[in-house]
A and B are shown apart, each in its own frame.
Chain A
Amino acid sequence: MATIVKGWDRNQMAARAAKELKDGYYVNLGIGIPTLVANNIPDGMTVTLQSENGMLGIGPFPYPDEVDADLINAGKQTISELPSSSYFSSSDSFAMIRGGHIDLTVLGAMEVSEKGDIANWMIPGKMIKGMGGAMDLVAGVKKIIVVMEHNSKAGDPKFIPECTLPLTGKNVVDMIITDLAVFHRPDHNSPFKLIELAPGVTAEEVRSKTTAQFVE
């Protein structure tokens, strides 16, 4: 029996984000779906991954006999190095981020507003774990892509007129990739435009599941 394909799964959302990569880019990937972008870098393209705890050139997970406690990514997972890797301090790492030297970051979000605000670090009333490097990344990186489910588990829209949760950054998001669609804006004064639909998804469905204003 044929299954009806509708929307993108987590890997497909990551693959869609990977289409925004360009040869020579330096990129920081968040935890979760954004990490999967690393598996979708096109062959022949050189993309250098930055880890904000102080490394450029993140390699694949190590072989079991090569695990090194001194070599971890920002998610505290063991990783490996590449011949082109370099290490530096946290202050140098964020100088790189804040100084606008990183081309692209992909991160998750709980809410994004139609004005490009992002909320992804705390829910009032719940235990706050902290923002980590997310506020620095959205303030400093040249292009900010958010990858998130279009609606919450309860079915509520996440791309909304105004964020209800405490912000991570104000007017910073350039592109939103959900399981249903892609929204983009060319600059921070323009509205988001619906530029792509996932397989089997109609613009009508996206409109009905979104409260943010966007152009088509």
Chain B
Amino acid sequence: MQKIYPNAEAALDGLLFDGMTIAAGGFGLCGIPERLIDAIQASGVKNLTIASNNAGIDNEGLGRLLRSRQVKKMISSYVGENKEFERQYLAGELEVEFCPQGTLAERMRAGGAGIPGFYTKTGVGTQVAEGKEVKNFDGEDYILERGIRADLSIIKGWKADESGNLVFRKTARNFNQPAATAGKICVAEVEEIVPVGSLDPDAIHVPSIYVKRLILGAPYDKKIEFMTTRERETA
């Protein structure tokens, strides 16, 4: 079975439909599946519900899909640094479900692992708990959160082999790993595709079973939101 597609448009062919739910990897602009986001924008698919920790920034990452009005609802933990998001949200044009970051990661992991719901202490006694079942375990209250099962997962990896085994680099792993499992089908973009056998089987972050379609997204011009450095000590 051939998993490698020539480009993002080809890799998404037949997978997109109006009103669908997409789980996306990335944290801020780190490790975002930008080629796939661009292809989704170009497809014109509408009324999307997107589960992603952030919503990009103005005209970067998912910010592009917001600008083109293709998003109906975001499920996110933090959406700062995005003026267009703010405008649509305040105008009531965009629905937002704020979800604590760890709960969002676990909702993706659980959804992908066939777990429809789980209990967590996170959010007990806050707005997040409103309308959710509360259960006491060993004297402490927990709330029921639902797993996320998306129609499609889009992730960005560092390297993948031709069979779809995939590895991430440094903190670009973030939500990409749980997002990969949460979709009925996962499409991955990577910086390098290597021959089968060249990745260490003990060090695979996403086993090939999850990665159904794969594209080489390079070259990347990786964006940095906040550049912070120290000065080199002079001898």
Chain A residues engaging chain B, CB cutoff 8 angstroms: 51-55, 60-64, 67-73, 75-79, 81, 87-95, 97-98, 117, 127-136, 139-140, 166-171
Contacts and interface: CB of A to CB of B under 8 A. Distances in A.
Interface string B193-231: 000000000000100000000000000001111111111
A191 B104 CA distance: 33
Contact of B223 (A55, A69, A87, A168): A69
A21 B77 CA distance: 29
Interface of B: 27-31, 53, 76-80, 86, 89-90, 96, 98, 100-106, 108-109, 120-128, 158, 168-178, 205, 222-232
Contacts of B172: 70
Contacts of B108: 91
A132 B230 contact: no
A52 B108 CA distance: 16
A60 B102 contact: no
A91 B30 contact: no
B108 to A, nearest CB: 7
Contacts of B121: 98, 139-140
Given A53-B27, A63-B232, A69-B224, A139 B123 contact: yes
Sort A-B residue pairs by CB-CB distance and give the 7 closest, nearest first: A94-B102, A170-B125, A136-B102, A69-B222, A89-B177, A129-B80, A90-B105
Nearest to A129: B80
Given A53-B174, A54-B173, A91-B178, A128 B98 contact: yes
A52 B169 CA distance: 16
Contact of B101 (A73, A136, A167): A136
Looking at B77, B90, B102, B169, the one whose CB has the most chain A CB atoms below 10 A away is B102
Contacts of B174: 53-54, 89-90
A70 B31 contact: yes
Contact of A169 (B109, B126, B223): B126
Nearest to A69: B222
A69 B124 CA distance: 35
Given A52-B102, A71-B170, 8 more contacts: A53-B171, A69-B29, A89-B174, A90-B53, A90-B174, A130-B76, A133-B77, A167-B126
19 contacts: A53-B27, A54-B27, A55-B170, A69-B29, A71-B171, A72-B27, A72-B171, A87-B171, A89-B176, A90-B105, A117-B125, A127-B90, A129-B78, A131-B77, A133-B100, A135-B102, A136-B100, A136-B122, A140-B121
